[in-house]
Amino acid sequence: MSTQIEQQETESESEQEAESAVESPGDRRRAEKQQRLDEQKQAEREESTLDDEETIRLKVFRYDPEVEGKQEPRFDDFLVPFHKGMTILDALIYARDQYDSSLTFRHSCRQAVCGSDALFVNGRQRLGCKTQIAELETPVRIEPLPHQEVVKDLVVDMEHFYDQMEAVEPYFDADELPEDELEEQRQSRENREKVKMSTRCIWCGACMSSCNIAAGDNEYLGPAAINKAYRFAMDEREGPDRKQERLRIIEQEHGVWRCQTQFSCTEVCPKDIPLTEHIQELKREAVKNNLKFW
Amino acid sequence: MYEHDVIVVGAGGAGLRAAIAAHEEGADVALVTKLHPVRSHTGAAEGGINAALREGDSWDLHAYDTMKGSDYLGDAPAIDTFAKDAPEEVVQIEHWGMPFSREDDGRVSQRPFGGMSFPRTTYAGAETGHHLLHTMYEQAVKRGIEVYDEWYVTNLAVTDHEDPEDRVCHGCVAYDIKSGEIHGFRAKNGVILATGGLGQAFDHTTNAVANTGDGCAMAYRAGAPMEDMEMIQFHPTTLPSTGVLISEGVRGEGGILYNEDEERFMFEHGYANNDGELASRDVVSRAELTEVNEGRGIEDEFVHLDMRHLGEERILDRLENILHLAEDFEGVDGLDEPMPVKPGQHYAMGGIECDENGETCIDGLYAAGETACVSLHGANRLGGNALPELLVFGARAGHHAAGKDMKVAEIQTGPSAKSEDGAVEPPVDPGAVDAGTDDVVADGGAAATPKSVVKGAVEEERQRIEELLEADGINHAEVRADVQETMTQRVNVFREEDGLKQALRELKDARREYQNVAVSDPSRTYNTDLIHTIETRNILDVAEAITIGALAREEFRGAHWRAEHQERKDDEWIKHTMLAWNDGDPELYYKPVELDGDEETYEPKERSY
Ligand SMILES: Cc1cc2nc3c(=O)[nH]c(=O)nc-3n(C[C@H](O)[C@H](O)[C@H](O)COP(=O)(O)OP(=O)(O)OC[C@H]3O[C@@H](n4cnc5c(N)ncnc54)[C@H](O)[C@@H]3O)c2cc1C
Ligand code: SF4
Ligand code: FES
Query: Using 50, 70 and 90 to split pLDDT, how confident is the model at B439?
Result: very low
Mean pLDDT of A54-59: 95
Query: Using 50, 70 and 90 to split pLDDT, how confident is the model at B447?
Result: low
Compute the Cα dihedral for B410, B414, B417, B419 and give only its sign: positive
Single out the catalytic residue among B235, B304, B490, B553.
Answer: B235
pLDDT at A24: 59
pLDDT at B213: 98
**Crossing angle of the two packed helices A159-167 and A223-233, in degrees rounded to 10:** 30
Is the C-beta atom of A257 inside 6 A of ligand 2?
Answer: no
Mean pLDDT of B259-278: 92
pLDDT at A9: 34
pLDDT of B103 > 90? The answer is yes
Task: Report how many Cβ contacts below 8 Å link chain A to chain B.
Answer: 177
**Crossing angle of the two packed helices B59-69 and B76-95, in degrees rounded to 10:** 120
pLDDT of B563 > 60? The answer is yes
| B54 counts as catalytic | no
pLDDT of B184 > 50? The answer is yes
A38 Cβ under 8 Å from any chain B Cβ: no
pLDDT of B440 > 60? The answer is no
Of the candidates B102, B178, B244, which has its C-beta nearest A192's C-beta?
A: B102
B529 Cβ under 8 Å from any chain A Cβ: yes
Nearest-angstrom CA–CA distance, B378 and B394: 18
- B184 Cβ contact list (under 8 Å, min separation 6): B1, B2, B157, B171, B172, B173, B454, B455, B457, B458
Output A32 or B319, whichever has higher pLDDT. Answer: B319
pLDDT in tens, A99-133: 999 999 999 999 999 999 999 999 999 999 999 99
Nearest-angstrom CA–CA distance, B545 and B373: 14
Question: Helix, strand, coil: what percent of chain A each, to 5?
Answer: 45, 15, 45
DSSP per residue, A104-130? ----S-SSSSS---EEEETTEEEEGGG
pLDDT at B280: 79
Residues of chain B contacting residue A205, judged by C-beta atoms under 8 Å apart = none
Mean pLDDT score across all residues of chain B? 94
Nearest-angstrom CA–CA distance, B135 and B144: 14
pLDDT in tens, A188-212: 999 999 999 999 999 999 999 999 9
Query: Using 50, 70 and 90 to split pLDDT, how confident is the model at A11?
Result: very low
* Ligand 3 atom nearest B209 alpha carbon: 1
Nearest-angstrom CA–CA distance, B94 and B556: 40
Nearest-angstrom CA–CA distance, B289 and B513: 31
Mean pLDDT of B211-221: 98
B125 Cβ under 8 Å from any chain A Cβ: yes
DSSP B565: B
Q: What distance in Å separates residue A242's CA from the closest CA in chain B?
A: 14
Mean pLDDT of B399-404: 95
Report ipTM (2 d.p.): 0.93
pLDDT at A13: 34
DSSP B406: -
> Which residues 232-261 on chain A approach chain B with CB closer than 8 angstroms?
232, 235, 237
pLDDT in tens, A240-274: 999 999 999 999 889 999 998 889 999 999 999 99
**Crossing angle of the two packed helices B386-401 and B13-24, in degrees rounded to 10:** 30
pLDDT of A31 > 80? The answer is no
Dihedral angle, C-alpha B213, B218, B221, B224, nearest 10 °: -90
pLDDT of B44 > 60? The answer is yes
Query: Using 50, 70 and 90 to split pLDDT, how confident is the model at B126?
Result: confident
Q: Do A109 and B39 touch (CB under 8 A)?
A: yes
- Ligand 2, atom 2, lies closest to the CA of A269
pLDDT in tens, A213-239: 999 999 999 999 999 999 999 999 999
Is the C-beta atom of B376 inside 6 A of ligand 1?
Answer: no
Query: Using 50, 70 and 90 to split pLDDT, how confident is the model at A47?
Result: very low
- B392 Cβ contact list (under 8 Å, min separation 6): B81, B82, B85, B86, B89
Residues of chain B contacting residue A109, judged by C-beta atoms under 8 Å apart = 39, 41, 43-44, 208-209
**Crossing angle of the two packed helices B528-552 and B497-514, in degrees rounded to 10:** 150
Classify A272 in phi/psi space as left (phi over 0), alpha (psi -120 to 50) or beta. Answer: left
CB distance B352 to B228 below 8 Å: no
Query: Using 50, 70 and 90 to split pLDDT, how confident is the model at A30?
Result: low
pLDDT at A52: 58
CB distance B51 to B86 below 8 Å: yes
- Ligand 2, atom 1, lies closest to the CA of A224
Single out the catalytic residue among B23, B167, B170, B251.
Answer: B251
Output A120 or A44, whichever has higher pLDDT. Answer: A120
A4 Cβ under 8 Å from any chain B Cβ: no
pLDDT in tens, A139-154: 999 999 999 999 999 9
pLDDT of B588 > 50? The answer is yes
Output B320 or B82, whichever has higher pLDDT. Answer: B82
pLDDT of B578 > 50? The answer is yes
Q: Which of A63, A223, A58 lies closest to A157, judged by CA?
A: A63
Per DSSP, the three-state class of B151 is: strand
pLDDT of B30 > 50? The answer is yes
Is the C-beta atom of B45 inside 6 A of ligand 1?
Answer: yes
Q: Do B135 and A152 touch (CB under 8 A)?
A: no
B390 Cα: distance to centroid of ligand 1 (angstroms): 9
Largest CA distance in chain A: 70
Query: Using 50, 70 and 90 to split pLDDT, how confident is the model at A50?
Result: low
Mean pLDDT of B491-511: 97
Residue range A52-155, CATH number: 3.10.20.30
Query: Would you say domain A159-175+187-290 falls under CATH 1.10.1060.10?
Result: yes
Pairing of strands B121-122, B49-50: antiparallel
Domain ranges within chain A, ordered by starting residue = 52-155, 159-175+187-290
Query: Using 50, 70 and 90 to split pLDDT, how confident is the model at B443?
Result: low
A207 Cα: distance to centroid of ligand 2 (angstroms): 5
pLDDT of A293 > 70? The answer is no
pLDDT of A23 > 70? The answer is no
3-state secondary structure string, B235-268?
EEEECCCCCCECCCHHHHCCCEEECCCCCCHHHH
pLDDT at B289: 94
Q: Out of B317-331, B381-395, B429-443, B461-475, which region has the weakest mean confidence (pLDDT)?
A: B429-443
Q: List the end-to-end C-alpha distance of chain B, in Å, as a whole number.
A: 54
Q: Which of B543, B257, B589, B561 lies closest to B419, judged by CA?
A: B589
pLDDT in tens, B194-204: 999 999 999 99
| B462 counts as catalytic | no
pLDDT at B243: 92
pLDDT of A42 > 80? The answer is no
Residues of chain A contacting residue B479, judged by C-beta atoms under 8 Å apart = none
